[in-house]
Structure 1
Amino acid sequence: MTTFLRHSLWGLACLIAVCLTGPAQAQVIKVKQAELEKVESAWLLNANFGIELPPGLENALKKGVTFHFLVQFELTRSRWYWFDEKAVNVQRQVRLSHQPLINQYRINAGGLALNANSLVEALRIAGTIGGWSVIEATAIDADKQYEAALRMTLDLGKLPKPFQVDALNSRDWSLSGEWLRFPFNASMSSVTGRK
């Protein structure tokens, strides 16, 4: 067997091994718990997300890159004759940054600004949503069944341009969450969804 053929077979074997292992799983932001709570004429969302940053993103954050997380909430109703009705579709930005001079993390969400001394604490604060008004009573019909859906992702469009290019080429930057879906009816006083 010639050297060329041996190297070609070795290369083919490596390629097959890579293909069989499949793509690496993207980093996931997990919804730990979500609750819709009824107040006078609206529903408030309280939720907790588990966020874990891979080493590359943690390093970028510590070097001054600000992360913008996007929290999305939707309320839909199935219709047999047409597309599903989207009764509610709201978004909220959560901004996370690091201030190297004082070694503190800053979290901005819903008009509030909080500081944290550690990354673990900062991610816990960034992943906590409390009292966010997501549904107005006038937007829904009390007699109909809906499906609520919630997720959080890293908003790559808000990154500085050089990092947007890196984000397209690296799985480390694919920090996204799966939708948590749960049934909703306006006649309930509170609704809880869990993974």
Structure 2
Amino acid sequence: MSQRSPYHPRRILPAVLLLVPVLLLGSFASAAAKDGLRVEQVETRLVDDTFFMDALLDYRFSSEALDALENGVPLTILVQIQVRRVGAWLWEDSRVDLQLRYAIRYKPLSERYEVYRLPGDEGRSFVSRDAAMRALGEIADLALIGASSLDADTDYEIHIRASLDIEELPLPLRPMAYLKPSWKLSSGWSKWPLTP
């Protein structure tokens, strides 16, 4: 009596059927991973006694967020910036703790995108969404801290995080935004050296 091969089609088929959903989930997850916010570059320079910062952030909103933008819903980005001692404990105070808010909106009548810093509603205007998104991710000449207020023998670093501010969405959108992962967009904290 011959023994059935472990590679018999009747044994392989159930395994393949179980594997297909896993592969599909993996492809959806990799597609979703393309969405998100990322801090790509941070540079600092010392001018006279003040440290200034330039930063480049990459904003890849989910399709739901982009649909809302195209329908006239402004999207607000919260950028948190801290200057901390290298190796500081969590409970140590930051030397700097800034919260910057930026917004992007689409104006259907003029078919233009606007990027502006809050508070206020006046900003730069763009014909294309890509150009507006690039401008949204640029922080230039931000005064951080006076060099004389830092300890000369201590190394410092910048901690920076960007996130989509769900609280600024119109009230009817908020419950869905709290429940769906596609709205919970954040870069997470990243660290960059504070150098002259």
Shared fold per TM-score greater than 0.5: yes
Classify the secondary structure of the residue corresponding to 1:85. Answer: coil
Q: Tell me which structure has the larger Cα radius of gyration.
A: 2
1:63 counterpart residue number: 71
Point out where structure 1 has 5 or more consecutive residues left out of the alignment.
1-12, 190-195
Seen in structure 2, the aligned counterparts of structure 1 residues 48 and 164 have a Cα distance that, compared at 3 Å, is: same
Classify the secondary structure of the residue corresponding to 1:29. Answer: strand
Conserved in 1, the CA contact under 8 Å of 2:162 and 2:187?
yes
1:105 counterpart residue number: 113
Conserved in 2, the CA contact under 8 Å of 1:70 and 1:154?
yes
Residue-by-residue CA offset, 1:123-174 (whole Å, 9 max, x unaligned)? 0000011001122335422221122111211111111111111111112111
**TM-score, normalising length: structure 1:** 0.77
2:50 counterpart residue number: 42
Conserved in 2, the CA contact under 8 Å of 1:146 and 1:183?
yes
Conserved in 2, the CA contact under 8 Å of 1:94 and 1:126?
yes
- The structure 1 segments of at least 4 consecutive aligned residues displaced by more than 4 Å after TM superposition are 21-26
2:167 counterpart residue number: 157
Point out where structure 2 has 5 or more consecutive residues left out of the alignment.
1-16
Q: CA deviation at 1:103?
A: 0.5
Conserved in 1, the CA contact under 8 Å of 2:36 and 2:61?
no
- Give the distance between the partners of 1:68 and 1:139, measured in 2 at CA: 32
Q: Which moved more, 1:130-139 or 1:60-69?
A: 130-139
Conserved in 1, the CA contact under 8 Å of 2:37 and 2:185?
yes
1:10 counterpart residue number: none
Matched, 1:131 2:131: no
Conserved in 2, the CA contact under 8 Å of 1:96 and 1:107?
yes
Matched, 1:32 2:40: yes
- Give the distance between the partners of 1:118 and 1:58, measured in 2 at CA: 13
Conserved in 2, the CA contact under 8 Å of 1:152 and 1:177?
yes
Aligned residue pairs, count:
174
Classify the secondary structure of the residue corresponding to 1:91. Answer: strand
Percent identity, please. Answer: 28
Conserved in 1, the CA contact under 8 Å of 2:113 and 2:125?
yes
Matched, 1:118 2:128: yes
Residue-by-residue CA offset, 1:37-89 (whole Å, 9 max, x unaligned)? 11122111101111112221111001111111011111112457x83331111
Conserved in 2, the CA contact under 8 Å of 1:68 and 1:154?
yes
- Give the distance between the partners of 2:157 and 2:92, measured in 1 at CA: 10
**TM-score, normalising length: structure 2:** 0.76
* Letter of the structure 1 residue corresponding to residue 55 of structure 2: A
- Give the distance between the partners of 2:82 and 2:150, measured in 1 at CA: 12
Give me the CA root mean square deviation: 2.9
- Give the distance between the partners of 2:175 and 2:95, measured in 1 at CA: 35
Q: CA deviation at 1:90?
A: 0.6
